[in-house]
C-alpha cells in the first residue's frame, strides 16, 4: 500500500502529513503553495495582507476589485481600539464586467478622489486583488499620482493571488508598513520596544502592554493592533522588536533589523509557560537589572492569582484529547504546552503556514503517533480527528462547522474571537472555555442520539 493510500489523501499531499515517530525523523514538507484542488483552509493573498493592516485605527482601506473582496474582509479582526474607528470601514472600486474588459484605473482614481474629498485621510492603503492581477491595472502609478496630487500617503498593497498564498499577503503587508515607516525622516533615537504581530484581539494588546508598563518597559509602537499611522512612522526609533505572531511579522522584523538596526526576538504570550519565558527573555535582552527584578515580581504575583483556578480546571479537563489547527507553527507550539499543562493530550497538530524548524519542535513536544499536518484540507482534518479520537478542535472560523458536524467540541483561537487568551488572565479564560465546551451535556446527548452510547 502506498503511503498516500495509507494516509487516505492525495498523492501530492503525502509528504505534508506524518505520524510522529521518535525513530523516523523524516522532515515534513511545508512552506509551499497549496496543491490545486485540495481545498486548502488557507486564505488568499489579499486576505493575508488585509488582516495585518486592517487594525491600524486611522488608516483608510480601498479594495480595488469586485465588491465581494471588500465585504469578505469587512471588520474581519476582533480588534479593539482606544482611538479612531476608521478601520472598521471598507471601501471598494466594485469592479464589474465592463471594468474587466476596459481596465479599472480610471475607476480607482475616482475612488481615491472621493475618499480624500469626503474624509481628508492621512493614509490610504490600496489593495490589488486577483482580478487586478489578471487585467494588469498599474496600481503603483495610480497611487503615486494620488500622492502627488493630495500630498498624503497612498500606499499600494500588491496582493493578487488565489487561496494557498496567505503568507505572500503577509509579505505584501510588511512592504506596505515599511513604506509607511519611511515617511518619517526624523533622526532615530533608540528607545523602548515595538510589539509586532499583536492585533489587539479582544483587548489582548492592552493586557500585554499592562505587563510591560508594570515592569518599566516603554512601548514605542504596535503592529498593528490599536495602532495609528503616526506611531508606525516612529517605529524605527525602537531599540528592540518583539514578534508575537511569527508567521505574519518575522519577515518584516528581519527587514527592520537590516534597514534600521533593530534586533528582534520571537515571543509568545499564549499560556503560562510561554508568558513567563517571554517576559524573562525581553528583560534579559534589554539588560536592565531593575526590569529583570520587576519581571520576577510580576510573575510571582500573577501566578499566585491564577494558580488555584487553573488547578480547578486541570482536574476537570485531565484525560481529554485535542486536535489543533491554527495559522502558524509558533502558536501551535504554545498551544501544545498549554494543553499539556491542563492534562489534555494533543493527538493531531496542523498549521496553515508552519516552518521546518517549527514542525521539528512540534514533533519533540508531541507523543508517538500524533498526526502532524501542513496546509490540511477538510477531508484530512475529518479523517485524522476521527482516527485519533479528538474530543475538541482548536482552530478558526472555517474549522468550526467541521467540528460540530463531527459532534466534537470547538474552541475559537482565531482573529474573530471576543475574549482574550493572552497572558495569565488569558490562560484562565482558555481553560474556562475548554471546560465549558468539553464538559457540556450536549455531547452526551449527541452521542446517545447517534447511537454512540
Range with lowest mean pLDDT among 227-236, 325-334, 423-432: 325-334
Q: Is residue 203 part of a domain?
A: yes
Confidence at residue 322, expressed as pLDDT on a 0 to 100 scale = 96
Looking at the chain, the whole-number percentage of residues with pLDDT higher than 70 is 90
- Please give the pLDDT value at position 313: 97
Answer yes or no: do 244 and 309 share one domain: no
User: Helices (H), strands (E): how many in the chain?
Assistant: 19, 14
46 contacts 64 by C-beta, under 8 angstroms: no
Q: Evaluate whether residue 3 is within a structural domain.
A: no
Give yes or no: residues 341 and 379 share one domain: yes
* pLDDT score of 162: 66
Q: 3-class DSSP state for residue 14?
A: helix
Residues 203, 173 share a domain: no
Res. 369 pLDDT band, cuts 50 70 90: very high
Show the DSSP H helices in 318-393 as ranges: 329-341, 356-365, 378-388
Is residue 425 included in any domain, yes or no? Answer: yes
pLDDT for the residue numbered 13: 78
Tell me the pLDDT of the chain averaged across its residues. 88
Give me the mean pLDDT over the 409-429 stretch.
89
Strand ranges, E, within 228-329: 240-243, 264-266, 321-326
| pLDDT above 80 (res 414) | no
Together in a domain, 270 and 356 = no
60 and 88 in a single domain? The answer is: yes
Cis upstream peptide for 224 (omega within 30°): yes
Q: How much is the average pLDDT of 33-37?
A: 62
**Residue that finishes a domain, picked among 181, 201, 234:** 181
Q: How confident is the model at residue 286 (pLDDT cuts 50, 70, 90)?
A: very high
Residue with cell 520596544: 193
Mean pLDDT over 72-78 rounds to: 68
Helix (H) or strand (E) holding 154: strand 153-157
Range of the domain at 244: 193-296
Mean pLDDT of 405-412: 91
pLDDT at 306 (0 to 100):
96
Encode burial over 65-87: b for 16+ CB neighbours within 10 A, e otherwise.
bbeebbebbeebbbbbbeeeebb
215 and 142, same structural domain? no
Same domain, yes or no, for 57 and 106? yes
Q: Is the pLDDT of residue 185 over 80?
A: no
Mean pLDDT over 174-182 rounds to 93
Q: Is residue 207 part of a domain?
A: yes
Confidence band for 38, pLDDT divided at 50, 70 and 90: low
CA nearest 45: which of 169, 131, 150? 169
| Residue tagged 506596505 (cell numbers) | 176
What CATH number is given to the structural domain containing 146? 3.40.50.1980
Mean pLDDT of 362-379: 90
pLDDT, mean of residues 186-190: 67
* Torsion of Cα atoms, 248 then 254 then 257 then 262, to 10°: 40
Q: Number of structural domains, the chain?
A: 3
Q: What is the pLDDT of residue 1?
A: 44
Answer yes or no: do 175 and 201 share one domain.
Answer: no
Q: Does any domain span residue 35?
A: no
Same domain, 288 and 310: no
Domain endpoint, select from 132, 157, 181: 181
* Highest mean pLDDT: which range of 35-44, 236-245, 300-309: 300-309
* Rounded CA separation 340/320 (Å): 10
Residue 322 lies in a domain: yes
- Mark whether 210 and 103 lie in a shared domain: no
Asked if the model's pLDDT at residue 166 lies above 60, the reply is no
Q: Are residues 229 and 159 both part of a single domain?
A: no
Q: Is the pLDDT of residue 426 over 60?
A: yes
Res 3 pLDDT > 60: no
Q: Is residue 2 part of a domain?
A: no
Residue 8 lies in a domain: no
309 and 436 fall within a common domain: yes
- Can you tell me the distance from the alpha carbon of 363 to that of 357, in angstroms, rounded to the nearest whole number? 10
From first CA to last CA, the distance across the chain in angstroms is: 34
Residue finishing a domain among 238, 263, 296:
296
Amino acid at each position: 500500500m502506498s503511503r498516500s493510500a495509507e494516509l487516505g489523501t492525495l498523492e501530492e499531499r503525502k509528504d505534508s502529513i506524518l505520524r510522529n515517530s521518535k525513530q523516523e525523523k523524516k522532515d515534513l514538507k511545508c512552506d509551499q503553495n497549496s496543491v490545486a484542488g485540495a481545498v486548502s483552509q488557507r486564505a488568499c493573498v489579499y486576505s493575508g495582507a488585509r488582516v495585518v493592516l486592517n487594525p491600524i485605527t486611522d488608516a483608510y482601506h480601498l479594495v480595488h476589485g469586485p465588491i465581494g473582496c471588500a465585504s469578505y474582509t469587512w471588520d474581519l479582526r476582533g480588534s479593539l481600539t482606544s482611538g479612531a474607528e476608521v478601520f472598521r470601514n471598507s471601501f471598494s472600486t466594485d469592479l464589474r464586467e465592463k471594468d474587466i474588459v476596459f481596465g479599472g484605473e480610471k475607476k480607482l482614481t475616482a475612488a481615491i478622489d472621493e475618499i480624500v474629498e469626503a474624509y481628508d485621510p492621512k493614509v490610504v492603503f490600496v489593495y490589488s486583488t486577483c482580478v487586478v492581477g489578471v487585467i494588469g491595472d498599474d496600481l503603483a502609478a495610480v497611487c503615486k499620482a494620488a500622492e502627488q496630487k493630495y500630498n498624503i500617503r497612498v500606499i499600494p498593497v500588491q496582493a493578487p493571488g488565489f487561496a494557498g498564498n496567505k503568507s505572500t499577503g503577509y509579505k505584501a503587508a510588511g512592504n506596505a508598513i515599511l513604506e509607511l515607516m519611511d515617511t518619517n525622516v526624523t533622526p532615530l533615537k533608540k528607545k523602548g520596544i515595538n510589539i509586532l504581530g499583536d492585533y489587539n484581539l479582544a483587548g489582548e494588546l492592552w493586557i500585554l502592554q499592562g505587563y510591560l508598563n508594570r515592569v518599566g518597559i516603554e512601548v514605542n509602537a504596535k503592529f498593528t493592533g490599536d495602532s495609528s499611522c503616526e506611531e508606525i512612522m516612529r517605529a524605527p526609533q525602537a531599540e528592540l522588536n518583539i514578534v508575537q505572531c511569527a508567521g505574519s511579522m518575522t519577515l518584516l522584523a528581519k527587514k527592520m533589523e537590516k534597514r534600521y538596526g533593530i534586533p528582534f526576538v520571537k515571543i509568545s504570550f499564549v499560556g503560562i509557560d510561554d508568558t513567563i519565558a517571554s517576559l524573562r527573555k525581553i528583560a534579559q535582552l534589554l539588560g536592565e537589572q531593575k526590569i529583570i527584578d520587576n519581571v520576577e515580581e510580576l510573575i510571582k504575583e500573577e501566578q499566585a492569582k491564577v494558580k488555584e483556578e487553573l488547578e480547578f480546571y486541570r482536574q476537570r479537563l485531565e484525560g481529554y484529547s485535542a486536535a489543533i489547527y491554527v495559522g502558524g507553527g509558533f502558536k501551535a507550539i504554545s498551544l501544545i504546552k498549554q494543553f499539556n499543562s491542563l492534562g489534555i493530550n494533543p493527538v493531531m497538530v496542523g498549521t496553515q503556514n508552519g516552518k521546518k524548524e517549527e514542525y521539528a519542535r512540534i514533533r519533540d513536544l508531541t507523543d508517538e503517533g500524533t498526526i502532524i499536518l501542513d496546509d490540511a484540507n477538510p477531508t484530512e482534518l475529518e479523517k485524522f480527528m476521527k482516527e485519533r479520537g479528538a474530543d475538541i478542535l482548536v482552530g478558526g472560523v472555517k474549522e468550526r462547522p467541521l467540528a460540530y458536524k463531527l459532534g466534537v467540541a470547538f474552541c475559537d483561537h482565531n482573529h474573530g474571537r471576543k475574549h482574550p487568551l493572552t497572558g495569565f488572565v488569558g490562560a484562565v479564560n482558555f481553560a474556562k472555555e475548554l471546560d465549558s465546551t468539553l464538559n457540556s451535556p450536549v455531547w452526551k446527548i449527541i452521542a446517545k442520539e447517534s447511537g454512540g452510547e
